[in-house]
């Protein structure tokens, strides 16, 4: 069974279209969309494109999807106001049917994959959709969260690909289709008896122009930063993860 794992699309329809072209050429049997289709500049269009696929497709919900559905002006939130404006804009673009579909997406998905064994797909970690970790976090710190939960864990959330071992478990980050924090491009995984880190090139200038034509709040920042010149967040996320894991009760 050949599986494509697409994470963190963030409403970047041109990137999604490019990846779907590679996915089709790879002859996959199933697609796993690993959360955070939202927020982003083309949310309704990205959801509609995924819904139109003739390849069996499973979805799980990420923190961005959850926060988009939950956002209300009068609701307390830890999210900065600028980001909340983006969430409210995205929520307003969705049909009621799309919102109901997202609400029903599970937090994890499990598969039995020939050549690999048990595979668990989650957005951040198996315990929640917000945990941050990178390949630089010492392996012993991650064992209480990841060791033994499956033969393979596929995650996303930090928008950077990696492939590490945590105890008995292989942990692979799919990277981000639409909003990478590494070299420009669209990142995803091909799973077929093993795991292959993939990167799809696409027309970045045209994608940036398409984003600028939307009414998405901070469309210019999304185009100029997250498509054309992605930030390197490895050190920032590593330090954040180390502090959070050191502060947390053992195994919490």
Each residue of 53-69: pLDDT tens digit?
A: 999 999 999 999 999 99
- With respect to residue 132, please indicate whether it lies within any of the assigned structural domains: yes
Contact status, residue 201 vs residue 92, Cβ threshold 8 Å? no
Confidence band for 250, pLDDT divided at 50, 70 and 90:
low
- With respect to residue 174, please indicate whether it lies within any of the assigned structural domains: yes
Contact status, residue 114 vs residue 1, Cβ threshold 8 Å? yes
* CA dihedral (112, 117, 118, 124) positive or negative: negative
- With respect to residue 237, please indicate whether it lies within any of the assigned structural domains: yes
CATH number of the CATH domain containing 170: 3.60.21.10
- With respect to residue 65, please indicate whether it lies within any of the assigned structural domains: yes
pLDDT 10s digits, 154-179: 999 999 999 999 999 999 999 999 99
The pTM for the full model equals 0.95
Question: How many structural domains compose the chain?
Answer: 1
Nearest residue to 164 via CA among 188, 133, 187: 133
Count of CB atoms situated within 10 Å of the CB of 154? 25
CA distance 144 to 49: 38
| Beta partners for residue 171, in sequence order | 153, 164
- Report residue 1 as tokens: 């069974």
- With respect to residue 151, please indicate whether it lies within any of the assigned structural domains: yes
pLDDT at 79: 78
Exposed e or buried b per residue across 19-47, where buried means at least 16 C-beta atoms within 10 angstroms of its C-beta: bbebbeeeebebbbbbbbbbbbbbbbbbb
| Beta partners for residue 58, in sequence order | 32
| Beta partners for residue 154, in sequence order | 121, 172
- With respect to residue 16, please indicate whether it lies within any of the assigned structural domains: yes
Helix (H, G, I), strand (E, B) or coil at 111: strand
Is the predicted pLDDT of residue 77 greater than 80, yes or no?
A: no
**What is the length of the chain?**
252
CA distance 79 to 71: 10
- With respect to residue 252, please indicate whether it lies within any of the assigned structural domains: no
Residue written as token pair 């990420």 = 62
Helix (H, G, I), strand (E, B) or coil at 1: coil
- Structural domain boundaries enclosing 192: 3-247
Average pLDDT of 112-123? 97
Nearest residue to 102 via CA among 129, 81, 120: 129
Helix (H, G, I), strand (E, B) or coil at 237: helix
Confidence band for 78, pLDDT divided at 50, 70 and 90:
confident
Residue written as token pair 């996915």 = 23
pLDDT at 249: 66
pLDDT 10s digits, 207-232: 999 999 999 999 999 999 999 999 99
CA distance 141 to 172: 16
CA distance 6 to 31: 7
């Amino acid at each position: 069974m050949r599986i494509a794992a697409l994470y963190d699309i963030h409403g970047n329809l041109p990137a999604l279209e490019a990846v779907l072209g590679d996915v089709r050429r790879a002859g996959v049997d199933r697609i796993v969309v690993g959360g955070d289709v939202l927020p982003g500049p083309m949310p309704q269009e990205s959801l509609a494109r995924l819904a139109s696929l003739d390849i069996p497709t499973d979805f799980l919900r990420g923190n961005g999807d959850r926060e988009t559905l939950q956002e209300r002006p009068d609701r307390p939130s830890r999210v900065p106001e600028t980001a909340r404006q983006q969430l409210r804009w995205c929520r307003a673009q969705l049909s009621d049917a799309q919102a109901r579909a997202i609400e029903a997406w599970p937090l994890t998905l499990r598969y039995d994959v020939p050549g690999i064994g048990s595979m668990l797909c989650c957005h951040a970690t198996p315990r929640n959709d917000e945990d941050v970790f990178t390949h630089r976090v010492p392996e012993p710190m991650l064992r209480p969260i990841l060791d033994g939960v499956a033969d393979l864990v596929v995650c996303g959330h930090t928008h950077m690909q990696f492939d590490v071992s945590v105890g008995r478990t292989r942990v692979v980050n799919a990277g981000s289709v639409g909003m990478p924090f590494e070299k420009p491009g669209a990142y995803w995984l091909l799973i077929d008896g093993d795991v292959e880190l993939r990167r799809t090139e696409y027309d970045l200038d045209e994608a940036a122009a398409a984003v600028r034509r939307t009414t998405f709040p901070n469309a210019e920042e999304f185009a100029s930063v997250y498509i054309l010149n992605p930030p390197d967040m490895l050190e920032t996320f590593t330090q954040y993860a180390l502090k959070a894991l050191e502060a947390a009760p053992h195994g919490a």
